[in-house]
Structure 1
């Protein structure tokens, strides 16, 4: 059986270069291949793809090849021994990347692309991929503590995929896992710990998630953090400020197919570091995820 790869989209922008470097390091840590993909929009822009007579290395085809070579350079710089293969495809990354990454280890993209219209286009693609890809999607935002823990937000939404992906990431990085749950309270609630804790159900949910994490990764250091706030995204973002990676799921109450939910959406926009969005179904028993 062919081993899974980490797929990363590269468009020549600095956010994409950051994503390639992060993906290369992950591929090395997980001992898998890095598949670097460059998607072009040639059919939408021009019919003439060939070189300009008398000008060496001209033409959109060659420019795309150079972009791929540049991406490989970023990968090798971040992780010299990484195994890299490349693909050059014509069309929208929103169409091709999910197909290429289907059933793969991970899909990695930058948070934004080039400025102007293309910047908006690439940014929307990142959000669309996080909402629709069948494999986990890492959106690489600048920041995060490279020595910090992996943080995973769990709730009662009926999916443990985020917990599984967080265990995998923390184990590969050799770091601890911080399992976090936010107990929501009405606005105006006094945010102090009550001696008669009304959040017994939240404690039970969090303890079960921690137990499941230890079952999934017996050698992993797992810590728990129960938060109380009126806003789940705000609490998670605050807790994740010292994390190297924040992992969230897409299954929430009332989430529509093809969306990522308000919590994941807010975290993708405001996190100070990489965010991994889990979409695939869990491979084992248990129902604890965010």
Structure 2
């Protein structure tokens, strides 16, 4: 890793954003990365009068946005006083800026801003769009925390090499164990007479190959593999990760439709109670 690597984190003053900033600051220290803290002010979309109120000190919409960014910096310094950090105040919709900022970044970190009571969907629109369109891995941070749990990575038939690499890095820097999970989709109601290993030798070979590769990438990490058979791939992934410190998923979304993402990553991102890392590289 070079000194030019940076982790970008968004802050809007919400509880979820504070959790994301704290998480990102710790990752920056563990990885030896620069931290870039940003706040996007939306006031420019509704008014051009951002200046102070005449005669009122420390007032105005621009100053209010600056205070949000200052608060975010204080959260960073409380979490990791030694972190190398810069701050930037931007104006306009977050998605218009974050896509550009993600180019070349080690990671983009966002908090979840979803309506938690609505059909169990826990992720907000900005986080979802960035997970589908950013040019780097996107971490969406939630409050459920298992600091001693494993990193869990879901792999597809091709072994999801990018997700596996990101998971190995995460496990290495945090000292966590790594669990590799592969799910064979099976129609609901189908009665299986044999164990998965006997019934799906090709799938077991995928798991074995991924475990070997993970041990090469992260030789100090304890790596295990798990084969699941389930009619719902996302459900099986989450059932295999009840105590995960983070779930890592790849995406087959190619950006053909803006704001879309592979169905498995989409479902895991929506329903996981804890942090999720969506592995992305140079999205179009």
TM above 0.5: yes
Q: Is this contact kept in 2: 1:245–1:275, CA < 8 A?
A: yes
**1:92-132 CA deviation, whole Å, 9 max, x = no partner?**
110101211211110000110799xxxx9x92111000000
**1:190-227 CA deviation, whole Å, 9 max, x = no partner?**
36753881210110011111111112122221111111
The corresponding residue for 1:287 is none
Say how many residue pairs are matched. 275
The corresponding residue for 1:125 is 126
Residue 14 of structure 1: how far off its partner (Å): 1.0
Normalising by structure 2, we get a TM-score of: 0.90
Find the aligned partners of 1:195 and 1:204 in 2 and give their Cα distance: 12
CA RMSD of aligned residues (A): 2.3
The corresponding residue for 1:284 is none
Of 189-198 and 261-270, more deviation after overlay is shown by 189-198
Gaps of 5+ in 2: none
Find the aligned partners of 1:195 and 1:65 in 2 and give their Cα distance: 56
Residue 67 (str. 1) matches residue 68 (str. 2): yes
Normalising by structure 1, we get a TM-score of: 0.89
The corresponding residue for 1:228 is 229
The corresponding residue for 1:272 is 273
The corresponding residue for 1:181 is 182
The corresponding residue for 1:163 is 164
Runs of 4+ in 1 over 6 A off after TM superposition: none
SS in 1 for 2:209: helix
Pairing 1:1-290 to 2, within 5 Å after superposition: 2-112=3-113, 123-157=124-158, 159-190=160-191, 193-194=194-195, 197-251=198-252, 258=258, 259-280=260-281
Q: Is this contact kept in 1: 2:132–2:255, CA < 8 A?
A: no
Q: 1:255 to 1:53 in 2, by over 3 A?
A: closer
Residue 134 of structure 1: how far off its partner (Å): 0.7
Find the aligned partners of 1:255 and 1:209 in 2 and give their Cα distance: 26
Q: 1:238 to 1:165 in 2, by over 3 A?
A: same
Q: Is this contact kept in 1: 2:3–2:32, CA < 8 A?
A: no
